[in-house]
Amino acid sequence: MAMVMISCPNTGRDVPTGIETDPSSFESFVAAAPIRCPVCGREHAWSKTNAWLAGSLGCLQETKFASRASRPAR
């Protein structure tokens, strides 16, 4: 399991969403509820196109998902 991370649009910081999943489940995500950002305190809508999985394999997974970013999200 790995934490889903997003980038805070207000501060540019990496923010954990508090949602843990695995890569195969992450692939099937279509939409997710907004999360309250612990950095700036605002709620941020997010989708898997601008989120990634944290963890020891984060760099590899980020590259993998980035290569699929051209695919329409919905």
* Shortest Cβ 51–Zn ion spacing (Å): 13
Euclidean distance between CA atoms 35 and 72, whole angstroms: 22
Q: Tell me the two tokens of residue 66.
A: 């980035």
Residue in 3, 7, 8, 29 binding Zn ion, rule: CB under 5 A: 8
Using CB under 5 A, count the residues that bind Zn ion. Answer: 5
Cβ atoms of 1 and 20 within 8 Å: the answer is yes
Q: Look at the block and give the residue holding tokens 């998902």.
A: 65
Residue 10 exposure: Cα atoms within 13 Å on the Cβ side:
11
Q: Is 19 in the site for Zn ion (CB under 5 A)?
A: no
The Cα–Cα gap between 66 and 74 comes to: 16
Residues in 31-70 that interact with Zn ion by CB under 5 A: 37, 39-40
Looking at the Cβ atoms of 3 and 40, the one nearer to Zn ion is 40
- What is the closest distance, in whole angstroms, from the C-beta atom of residue 55 to Zn ion in the complex? 21
Residues that bind Zn ion (CB under 5 A): 8, 10, 37, 39-40
